[in-house]
Amino acid sequence: MSMRTLFVATCLACLATTTMAIAATAETAPTQVDFRWGVKIPLRDGVKLDATLYRPQGQAAPLPCVFTLTPYIAASYHDRGMYFAAHGYVFLTVDVRGRGNSEGQFTPLLQEAHDGYDIVEWLAKQPYCDGKISMWGGSYAGYDQWATAKEFPPHLATIVPVASPFAGVDFPRRNNIAYPYDMQWLLLTAGRTGQEKIFGDDAFWIAKFKQLYTQHLAFKTLDTLVGAPSPIFQTWVAHPAIDAYWDSYNPTAAQFAKIDLPILSITGQYDGDQPGAMRFYREFMAHASAQAKAQHYLIIGPWDHAGTRTPQAEMGGLKFGKASLLDLNDLHRQWYDWTMKSGSKPAFLKDRVAYYVLGDGAEDWRYAPTLDAVTAQATPLYLSSHDGRANDVFESGALLAQVASQAQPDRYVYDPLDTSSAAVDALDVPNMLTDQHWILQQGGKYLVYHTAPFPKATDIAGFFKLSAWIALDQPDTDFHVAVYEIQPDGTNVFLSDDLLRARYRHSDRTAELVPKGKIERYDFDHFTFVARRIQAGSRLRLVIAPVNTLYSEKNYNAGGVVADETGKDARTVTVDLYHDAQHPSALFVPMAGQEKAKSP
């Protein structure tokens, strides 16, 4: 899996999905739906939002209403509106303020809480609405469902947040490491009209990201570099860690505790916003009442970001079983029927957590009462090497059941002025989840460890964790850790990854520069969710590497304000990883805890 893939597929697909990707496959005859364009929704401050209204043809009695609130131009969701109106709901596609035909000024994310509340309560007064209101949508439109819910509009009956970014956690940065993609997204949502052509010009964006990367320019200059100076981008850059600014976007603990709605959360194993969706889920489950928690269901499919709304049978070099192709339009409809029309609970929801297991002979859905119950146990595999040599896939260290009593530390040296990965980063790799260009091209510049071949097929499900004892000779650096399955025929399958900026090793809120030469334990405990059957004869591969890619903010290891630093600040860092009895570095593997349940 290339570094481009890691940051595009699992980090960067955070909020935007092109019109083609989000279009539903609704087969709805136009005669089934009455349509009204240009509906104006007044907000408390006098701004009017623009909506398109879809109603069942000849609607005689008030019905539950569903709306989506989007910065991606409401017409993009025409097919969804036609589908749900043809299936017994009033549906509205609404442009957020400052976008499309809505009045006001667009301020990403922060504006949606109050506006969502106002839409709900305005809808409740309309003659076609029976007072029960829900929302639809993923990515940005998943986030704004949580934002609306935290304001407690009295007529909000349920939410179905899909692929929801959690501000500051996975957008516009992941684990306090920012993306150049931020500017690509900000330009997509600039002005009032669609900017899909600019957003989708890969050659342009790769060239600009490569210029920033190879010329060692300060990250904060990116908006000017791409020709779109942005106060929003500069505000984001000015808040490099989780703080009160990012907290203001998301529900507080007290608000999570007060939310008492039926909720269906949906994400995917390869969804770039899985970290955000999981953060919402975990925060809710940590603070909500027992009654509210009993109403929260979670689905984790084998999907990427777009697939959380329209699943595909193939993605990134992997093929998925037939059971993965859920009709998510129909599942939404069943959920709305259950929560707003006194219908039956969707048959698919056999327990409160549904997750899809990938791998030969395992392609199917399984169930658990809680997310933690998905994992039976976390099995430690201890890092080891022969004489400190673990720097290549062909001369790797090992992952063992027992810790070595004595061992030399492993080492890699990272020069942030090294831009040799740019050529591989820029490749268009269709099989992004099985590709090995980057790991082979960058041989010797990272640490790699393998297990012995698995003697039998083994199911893993949950979250990896890496606990590593590390010493640096510079005050800061960025780490990327990833786990793969290496199958008996040599096929490489990306499983999960995590990122960590060393200064935030103790807290994502407080920067603490690294004392030179001090051996400290680094806990990588923000891996993405994985559920897969590891083949008999397969190995697990763990890679520990610097973050050195044109798709990430460059940390020059100097310990200053990262967004301000340039190549002039660059410091080569030596990373020593210890794995002896006093420093038992280990990868914890989540062993699956649920038996296979029959698909609906």
Whether residue 127 is preceded by a cis peptide bond, meaning omega within 30 degrees of 0, is no
State residue 8's pLDDT score.
43
How far is Cα 536 from Cα 458, in angstroms, rounded to an integer? 7
Q: Which helix (H) or strand (E) holds 563?
A: none
State residue 13's pLDDT score.
43
Rounded to two decimals, the pTM is 0.95
How far is Cα 73 from Cα 358, in angstroms, rounded to an integer? 35
pLDDT in tens, 220-276: 999 999 999 999 999 999 999 999 999 999 999 999 999 999 999 999 999 999 999
How far is Cα 498 from Cα 10, in angstroms, rounded to an integer? 10
Q: Is the pLDDT of residue 2 over 90?
A: no
Question: Domain locations in the chain?
Answer: 3-11+29-170+243-349, 177-237, 376-592
Mean pLDDT of 434-461: 94
Q: Is the pLDDT of residue 462 over 60?
A: yes
Cα 510 from chain centre:
23
Average pLDDT of every residue of the chain: 93
State residue 468's pLDDT score.
98
Spell out the residues 6+ positions from residue 27 whose beta carbon is closer than 8 angstroms to its own.
none
CB 414 within 8 A of CB 546: yes
Helix locations, 394-462, DSSP H: 422-425, 437-441
Cα–Cα separations (whole angstroms), residue 524 to 175, 224, 463: 11, 34, 11
pLDDT in tens, 285-331: 999 999 999 999 999 999 999 999 999 999 999 999 999 999 999 99
pLDDT band at 7 (very low <50, low <70, confident <90, very high): very low
Cα torsion angle, 80, 83, 86, 89, sign = negative
Classify domain 3-11+29-170+243-349 by CATH number: 3.40.50.1820
Dihedral angle at the C-alpha atoms of 229, 232, 236, 242, nearest 10 degrees? 180
Lowest pLDDT segment from 13-22, 81-90, 123-132, 349-358 = 13-22
Q: What percent of the chain has pLDDT over 70?
A: 94
How far is Cα 487 from Cα 436, in angstroms, rounded to an integer? 13
State residue 185's pLDDT score.
97
Spell out the residues 6+ positions from residue 358 whose beta carbon is closer than 8 angstroms to its own.
269, 302, 318, 320, 531, 532, 533
Q: Is the pLDDT of residue 20 over 70?
A: no
Express the helix, strand and coil content of the chain in percent, nearest 5 each: 25, 30, 45
Topology adopted by domain 376-592: Jelly Rolls (2.60.120)
Which tokens in the block code for residue 262? 């039926």
pLDDT in tens, 392-431: 999 999 999 999 888 899 999 999 999 999 988 888 888 8
State residue 346's pLDDT score.
98
CB 426 within 8 A of CB 205: no
Lowest pLDDT segment from 5-14, 163-172, 426-435, 553-562 = 5-14
Quote the Cα angle for 411-416-421, to 5°: 90
State residue 522's pLDDT score.
98
pLDDT in tens, 534-569: 999 999 999 999 999 999 999 999 999 999 999 999
How far is Cα 171 from Cα 290, in angstroms, rounded to an integer? 30
State residue 30's pLDDT score.
52
